[in-house]
Structure 1
């Protein structure tokens, strides 16, 4: 336990999950903290690092084995020690997810849309395509039509190819509009993307982490372990939210959108704790060559710039 009551509450909340999502937290840790330091660590030091969060050695070993089997991690033996790294596939997966987390701002929207028509697909395949594209920000505007106001065509085509449905779907791209968000369009967005449910989840995130922000600011001196724990749980919870967020343009969102406040809070806490958190990481983790390598310049561009 730490001396910060809000941080202890967050740790307890994580421990009370059923089942305990250790594999997901380990992916957060690799993406946020280990990959910027070269991406490889000794399993023993990883076990020690996660002990304060309440994840025991047996669960960590089981989770690492599962992540290796699923293609996220690869192992290398040096003597009696095992060192784990993200695979190339694992790195591509997390880069796509974490890119959203640290970006400073979304690009401006020109009013264009990408539409995918599923009318020629059988019902079971239609459901599969819909679920996959919803992860990429698409919403259903009818049972057979999906729409996204901001996406990369190449990513959509690649997804349809992977699902073996490219020849059986119809892909449209609209031109930019003079009126980006009419009343009817904003109402459609509320229906198709379930904005109210996502807003409630952002509100819960703010309620969970605002007390931590206040407690951290009141400290005369921040403790490295507290900063590491706060940073890890912060990014873990924020990453899960962004996976559900279609990242709609500002023009389509409510004026009081909770996602804006949540992002500001996440950025403020991260900027406050990242430096001391790095100290704890450097003291706790080991590579086959000894201490962790220094982070690269790109690390300090997170959230629009770190000190």
Structure 2
């Protein structure tokens, strides 16, 4: 009979392949997840070999990793440095604010609804409107959008009006259904629940993952949850359908992240290095993330 560790590795490997096939990973996006989950809260710099090894575990080749790193450098998100024959990359200054905002979204308490209207001014507003729509705002006209999420940064001049619901709150659901494709976001959450519910079932069935597999599982979890949440307009509960799956997805993400983290962080401490030595198993930032997940209030 195969050893328990062999059965665990086989079961997890089959599930990981299925998850990646159902929701493929792009090299640059997955590297961003590695930095956001592992590297940034521990100082922001890591050896290229760690990126290559971690990406290989999810089927991303060394060639794709090196190409993606080059593109991230060209885009101003990473900055490289050398120590002997080894290359290390750290987050460039402009990217740090983006990572902090994403971390607040994933690990912090829910944002309060902040309704506002954005009236674009000046010529050629189409590009700015597309930026707003990607940030969860709904188009009300060629130059007018509404949303509750924080405004993205764009250069198009605009007038922003703060808004609040004075009456008709019972019709917020109808308003939201008219202006957002909520079914699309609900399907994304349900896909996440299906894929990672299988992982939760595997762990509940007594399968014990290695430290390396725990890190890979956590990274794929963070990557796919982040993509769903970043696209969600994050409307208040009163504006959402009664069967909205977002909160269930949040609970699953929280449960799996906390369950995977002890072994995942152990693997980081054993394997991830900078020019000055190994990354720590924990830092003030990582401990705060875990604390916020355990007690979001």
Shift of 1:12: 4.7
Distance 1:170 1:178 in 2: 21
Distance 1:180 1:264 in 2: 31
Contiguous gaps of at least 5 residues in structure 2: 1-5
Structure 1 residues 180 and 103, CA gap change in structure 2 (3 angstroms)? farther
Distance 1:196 1:298 in 2: 35
Q: CA RMSD in A?
A: 2.5
Q: 2:244 aligns with which of 248, 251, 257?
A: 257
Q: Which residue of 2 aligns with 1:139?
A: 138
Number of residue equivalences: 288
Q: Conserved in 2, the CA contact under 8 Å of 1:7 and 1:212?
A: no
Q: Which residue of 2 aligns with 1:246?
A: 233
Shift of 1:302: 2.3
Distance 1:237 1:283 in 2: 25
Q: Which residue of 2 aligns with 1:10?
A: 16
Shift of 1:178: 4.4
Structure 1 residues 233 and 7, CA gap change in structure 2 (3 angstroms)? farther
Q: Deviations over 1:81-134 (max 9, x none)?
A: 111111111212222233211123233x4xx6311223x544xx2221111122
The answer on 1:234 being equivalent to 2:252 is no
TM-score after normalising by structure 2: 0.87
Structure 1 residues 150 and 181, CA gap change in structure 2 (3 angstroms)? farther
Q: Conserved in 2, the CA contact under 8 Å of 1:180 and 1:251?
A: no
Q: 1:291 aligns with which of 271, 274, 278?
A: 278
Shift of 1:173: 2.1
Distance 1:15 1:249 in 2: 33
Q: Conserved in 2, the CA contact under 8 Å of 1:104 and 1:302?
A: no
Q: Which residue of 2 aligns with 1:280?
A: 267
Q: 1:24 aligns with which of 29, 36, 49?
A: 29
Distance 2:279 2:149 in 1: 38
Shift of 1:224: 0.9
Distance 1:202 1:4 in 2: 27
Distance 1:249 1:172 in 2: 18
Shift of 1:180: 6.5
Shift of 1:233: 0.4
Structure 1 residues 17 and 206, CA gap change in structure 2 (3 angstroms)? closer
Distance 1:92 1:290 in 2: 26
Q: 1:216 aligns with which of 200, 203, 208?
A: 203
Q: Conserved in 2, the CA contact under 8 Å of 1:75 and 1:85?
A: yes
Shift of 1:17: 6.9
Q: Conserved in 1, the CA contact under 8 Å of 2:173 and 2:240?
A: yes
Q: 2:106 aligns with which of 101, 114, 124?
A: 101
Q: 1:266 aligns with which of 253, 258, 268?
A: 253
TM-score after normalising by structure 1: 0.84
Contiguous gaps of at least 5 residues in structure 1: none
Q: Which residue of 2 aligns with 1:171?
A: 160
Distance 1:234 1:47 in 2: 19
Q: Conserved in 1, the CA contact under 8 Å of 2:265 and 2:282?
A: no
Shift of 1:48: 2.2
